[in-house]
Amino acid sequence: MLTFSLVVLVLGVAVVFYGVRIISQTDVAIVERLGKFHRVLEGGFHIIIPVIDRISAKVTVREQIIDIKRQQVITKDNVNINIDGIVFLKVFDAKAAVYSVSDYKQAIANLATTTLRGEIGRISLDDSLSSRDQLNAALQVALGDAANNWGVKIMRVEISDISVPNDIEKAMNLQMKAEREKRAIELKAQAEKEALIRNAEALKQEKVLQAEAIERMADARKYEQIALAQGQSDAMQLIAMQMEKSALSAEFLLAKERILAFNEMAKNPSKDKVIVPYEVNEFIGSLSVISDFLAHKSKA
């Protein structure tokens, strides 16, 4: 009985030691039965049959990173550049990842290297430097088609660094400097052109305003002359009517002008002026005419 109990105890310990499996949440395990695939164990507590079943491999289900080693590649325009990158992947089918390829990480790393060479060889240096997002997308598509057969999903591909030879870098810096200077000259020329256009527009507007002002002043003078002419015409008509009524009207106007002229002469402070008697007689005669005209008007 004691021997039987020991055997049972040993078998129990062996079953617990070899038959109980606790799988981490981040892993899955491949179980083979008699050398053939049996099932996949996910995270948690599991029991397998010792000797008959065995765990042949464990695969992590977390996202993994594969480094693409720095390598020298040639662009479409025959420029040697050094490039490296990173591939992010995740296993979605542990069975395919274990049985379809001997080492899916190494396979993807090698595939990424050859694919990167091919993609860079189809584009120029400028495109490889400026279109990094498109290059990442192309690599992801190319790697994804092959990785799907291995139960691996390519999450994304990132080109981490692209370096060019020193002479090419110097040439690119000179080209960039020349482009900046060219843009500066173009911007300056454009600004000067716009300034000339604005000045011309301002000068044009000024000339238009001056022409309008001159036109308005001419219209004002025209209306003033018309008004003066109309006033003179009306005055002449009134004078003509008065002369028809009385002969003294013409003499009255002449006498009035003589008196105004004499007054202006009297206001002159010059000591060299001389009043001729003839002019005095005319002045007195003008006063007589005005007196007679006023007396005639009062009688009328």
pLDDT tens, position by position, 205-219: 888 888 888 888 888
193 and 213 together in one domain: yes
Domain count, the chain: 4
pLDDT value of residue 257: 64
Tens digits of per-residue pLDDT, 273-290? 545 444 445 545 555 555
Does the reported pTM lie above 0.75? no
Domain that holds residue 50: 2-59
> Mapping DSSP to helix (H, G, I), strand (E, B) and coil, where does residue 202 land?
helix
Q: Indicate which CATH number applies to the domain containing 155.
A: 3.30.479.30
pLDDT value of residue 140: 86
| C-alpha closest to that of 83 among 158, 141, 140, 146 | 158
137 and 170 together in one domain: no
16 and 75 together in one domain: no
Q: Give the residue from 42, 59, 76 where a domain finishes.
A: 59
- Which H, E and C letters describe 76-121, residue by residue? CCCCEEEEEEEEEEEECCHHHHHHCCCCHHHHHHHHHHHHHHHHHH
Query: How far apart, in whole angstroms, are the C-alpha atoms of residue 140 and residue 133?
Result: 11
pLDDT value of residue 113: 86
Query: How far apart, in whole angstroms, are the C-alpha atoms of residue 9 and residue 183?
Result: 88
Cβ of 66: how many Cβ atoms within 10 Å? 19
Q: Give the residue from 149, 164, 179 where a domain finishes.
A: 164
pLDDT value of residue 29: 92
pLDDT value of residue 268: 61
127 and 199 together in one domain: no
* Structure token digits, residue 106: 């190494």
Cα distance from N-terminal residue to C-terminal residue, the chain: 180
Low-confidence ranges of the chain (pLDDT < 50): 274, 276-280, 283
Q: Give the residue from 59, 77, 102 where a domain finishes.
A: 59
To which residue do tokens 């052109």 refer? 193
36 and 81 together in one domain: no
pLDDT value of residue 63: 92
pLDDT value of residue 269: 63
68 and 54 together in one domain: no
Tens digits of per-residue pLDDT, 171-189? 666 766 677 778 888 888 8
Query: How far apart, in whole angstroms, are the C-alpha atoms of residue 182 and residue 189?
Result: 11
Q: What angle do CA 115, 28, 143 make, to 5 degrees?
A: 10
